[in-house]
Structure 1
Amino acid sequence: ELAVTHCLGSEVPGATPQATSQLSFAAIDAYVRLVTRLVRRKEEALASRLAFFGRALVAVVRTAMRDTDERNVAFNARPYFRALAGLLNEMHAPNDALDSSHPQVLAAFASAFLALQPLRVPGFAFAWLELVSHRCFMPRLLIDHEQKGWPLLQRLLTAILRFMEPHLRTADLTEPIKLLYKGMLRMFLVLLHDFPEFLCNHHFNFCDIIPPNCIQLRNLVLSAYPRNMRLPDPFTPNLKVDLLPEISQPPRINADADHAFRSSPLREDVETFLKTRKPENLVQHIIHRLTLTPAAALTAGTKYNVPLLNAFVLYVGVQAIQANRSKDTASGIAQSAPMDLFQQLAQSLDLEGRYLFVNAIANQLRYPNCHTHYFSCVVLYLFSEAKFGIVQEQITRVLLERLIVNRPHPWGLLITFIELIKNPRYKFWNHSFTKCSPEIERLFESVARSCLPPENKEGAVPKPVPA
């Protein structure tokens, strides 16, 4: 507290209103060096040094919280950023006494960052994002200690997504929010490039929070695939997806991904239906359970419980995959209780609910694995067997809006859409929504041209067939 007071008291205003004021960080740097020297005193037991380091971080966190409560919009994040970044750098230096290779040191930093998350200290958001993505912190969480740091990073990324969600959902993008979003997007791009397995494992948690209109960020998360896998080219002519060796393998996914459904009262009824197809009115009961109270709906921006819906779709899909392992895949999927349940839901939900439901299915269209294959079959089956044109139109909307944004595009999304527009069984180009206006018709033809194999691009884009 004394170090922060000294730092803020040394503030010299900039020469112009736009210029950054000058601060003296001498006291902050002295605090950082003092803490580092004390935690590396070998005369003390390791447990007491770790406890002292935790208390030193708590002191920074509590001072920042009190400061933001007192100063509000006048809060200055720079002293706290300097202190935490200094401790990260100092503890990163290899030292046989204690450094950030110790899991409890990383956990202490993660706890401090979680306490200072943007929802609690909004004025610290930019500094917070830089600290979480710091070269001395994020790579160590991901590489060291056999992935034990992954849940910590997942909680931190969930925190920034929860802060950004209301702004992204309502498209309330002021200049600071745009900058923060750009920084967050770059951090996810780094993860996609250097640590794709992390995104593979935790895609479900992130998709629960990313709003439906934030399509590129969701595509980025869903495009991750293990580095030891070589993706088959989705544009290969006559690609036999069901014959790929990877298509029978389960994907990387967080073990508690469907926890929201497993802990729900719905689970027992759904399990009974999957075994006996009773009760027959289960779909209405599911829709009732998925519907939020008016107050909760106002906060969430939707009247449906999206995490519960996502978990329900994943749980039913996993049960179907396990049941189909001993059956013929095509007939097993088409005539199964899970598909019957999905089909009834697609018909019974209103426009908003059906859109979220199809999104939940599309979130499983990732790299080649048994989940991608099953849910791709679900999308195609729901499209071909739909009794109402609006169901087919909404399925097309979900796929199309994920394809017209900038790359990357998930592999499973591409192979599903290519199959939909190429296979005459689905009569895609006969549907009125593909030619309801010249602009829409040109959009469909443009996307089809980019999705078809090279030899089909020579003017061979399927054209709408006159009804």
Structure 2
Amino acid sequence: MLLRIASRLADLSPRYLPGFAYGWLSLIQHRAFLPAILKERAGWSAYTTLLRMLFEFVGQQLKAPEPTAVARDTYRATLKLLVVLQHDFTEYIAAHSDQLRMSLPPHCKQLINAILAANPASQDALSPNADQSNGSKAKETTEDDTAILLREHGLLGVVDQALHTGPSEDGLAHMTRAINESDARETGFAHVSIKANLSVIEAIILHVGKYAVGRLAQGGESFNPSSTDVAVLSLLMHELAPEPRYYLIVGMVNQLRFPGDMTSYFSRVLLEIFGRDLNDPDDTEIRQQITRVLWERLIGFWPQPWGLMITVLELLKNEKYAFFDLPFVKSSPEIIDRFHAVLQLLAMAGYLHPQSNKTQGRR
């Protein structure tokens, strides 16, 4: 019965009846429907379809430079719904986070943060298909999902070869070409075309991450700065133009979620790339973009993903990165203020002792 109701609600979504958006939104979060359909895993897929329809509608509305009153109201209601789901149905959000997040434009950062902040109490059944390998706490999208997409773009063999034998010049050229083949219909804020293939970027990131995490099952380390997987991500950052590189960094930051192998891996990869040659102009540009992505994620309200906060804390506290001494940071008071505010919040949350915060005196 609940699945039939969900199917009917999908037929009445704002995609088809935008004038019914308020009523539709109240129905999909009604106390007689929402807890019942999410009580069992059988209803998760149907409810994910409804949420993706909502996110696509809200995302389109928020692309306007000046959103309408209806768009603002719908956004606030959607954010409240996500916070409720993130609190009461954490396992559901964690299991379907990739599908939900990819239904939103990249500039909807607060909604994305609310999805990524889901921190499940149990790590036993995070995959939508309940197919979780032993020893890995991070949520895994099924391998077929990324493999199929990479195969469609002729990349599966290229990426696999790069991971097994190291990235070649031809392989990197093939990957960058596929990333640069954007869909003109995909737009961001102000309806500006996105000059990157976001689905290809997402697939490469997940495929590389799963390969690295898979080493744990063989008794190896999930992170090795000299490994082929780190080389693939690092070289892609250097080969890509600024806009697709920005979305590559965004995709990696999207993996900074709850405690788990995938979060740990991408946190360490980002910090490894950030801490390379401090005098190289190309590396400085990459550091600026990493800082930009982190700053954009932090300017919203809570909740914030655990992995994001831990990565930022390491970046700010570890003297290796000399974050507050970097020229582009010193010249941006708004960046300094926001990152200092984050340090204070982390101190209040018990992540560090305020007295030990040596970086706060650097202005």
TM-score range, shorter chain: 0.7 to 0.9
278, 289, 299: which one aligns with 1:404: 299
- Give the Å deviation of 1:325: 4.8
- Give the Å deviation of 1:297: 4.6
165, 171, 174: which one aligns with 2:59: 165
Q: Which blocks of at least 5 consecutive residues in structure 2 are unaligned?
A: 124-133
Are 1:304 and 2:206 matched, yes or no?
no
Q: Identify the residue that residue 295 of structure 1 maps to in structure 2.
A: 184
Equivalent residues in 2 for 1:95-174 (5 A)? Answer: 105-144=1-40, 147-174=41-68
Are 1:269 and 2:158 matched, yes or no?
yes
Q: Which blocks of at least 5 consecutive residues in structure 1 are unaligned?
A: 1-104, 230-246
- Give the Å deviation of 1:334: 0.5
Q: What amino acid sits opposite 2:245 in the alignment? A: R
Cα shift readout 1:167-219 (whole Å, capped 9, x = no counterpart): 22344410011111111111111101110111100111122122222221111
| Aligned partners of 2:91 and 2:122 also within 8 Å | no
| Aligned partners of 1:223 and 1:410 also within 8 Å | yes
Are 1:367 and 2:262 matched, yes or no?
no
Are 1:456 and 2:354 matched, yes or no?
yes
Whole-angstrom CA distance in 1 between matches of 2:72 and 2:317: 39
RMSD: 2.5
Q: What amino acid sits opposite 2:250 in the alignment? A: N
CA distance 1:437–1:313, shift in 2 (3 Å): closer
Whole-angstrom CA distance in 1 between matches of 2:163 and 2:333: 44
| Aligned partners of 1:248 and 1:369 also within 8 Å | no
| Aligned partners of 2:167 and 2:228 also within 8 Å | no
Cα shift readout 1:105-137 (whole Å, capped 9, x = no counterpart): 122111111112111111111111111112222
Aligned-partner SS, 1:334? coil
- Give the Å deviation of 1:152: 0.6
Q: Identify the residue that residue 378 of structure 1 maps to in structure 2.
A: 269
| Aligned partners of 2:317 and 2:357 also within 8 Å | no
Aligned-partner SS, 1:265? coil
CA distance 1:404–1:293, shift in 2 (3 Å): closer
| Aligned partners of 2:59 and 2:108 also within 8 Å | no
236, 251, 256: which one aligns with 2:138: 251
Are 1:356 and 2:247 matched, yes or no?
yes
Cα shift readout 1:315-372 (whole Å, capped 9, x = no counterpart): 1111112135546638x52111111010011111222111111111111111111111
Matched positions, count: 341
- Bigger Rg, structure 1 or 2: 1
Whole-angstrom CA distance in 2 between matches of 1:198 and 1:168: 25
- Give the Å deviation of 1:296: 3.0
CA distance 1:461–1:423, shift in 2 (3 Å): closer
183, 202, 219: which one aligns with 2:96: 202
More off after superposition, 294-303 vs 400-409: 294-303
| Aligned partners of 2:257 and 2:308 also within 8 Å | yes
Are 1:347 and 2:238 matched, yes or no?
yes
Cα shift readout 1:55-81 (whole Å, capped 9, x = no counterpart): xxxxxxxxxxxxxxxxxxxxxxxxxxx
Give % identity: 31
Q: What amino acid sits opposite 2:328 in the alignment? A: F
Aligned-partner SS, 1:399? helix
Whole-angstrom CA distance in 1 between matches of 2:194 and 2:209: 24
* Higher relative contact order, structure no. (Cα contacts within 8 Å, ≥ 6 residues apart): 2
Equivalent residues in 2 for 1:310-349 (5 A)? Answer: 310-323=202-215, 325-326=217-218, 329=221, 333-349=224-240
More off after superposition, 278-287 vs 208-217: 278-287
Q: Identify the residue that residue 418 of structure 1 maps to in structure 2.
A: 313
CA distance 1:449–1:117, shift in 2 (3 Å): same
322, 346, 363: which one aligns with 1:427: 322
Q: Identify the residue that residue 79 of structure 2 maps to in structure 1.
A: 185
Q: Identify the residue that residue 58 of structure 1 maps to in structure 2.
A: none
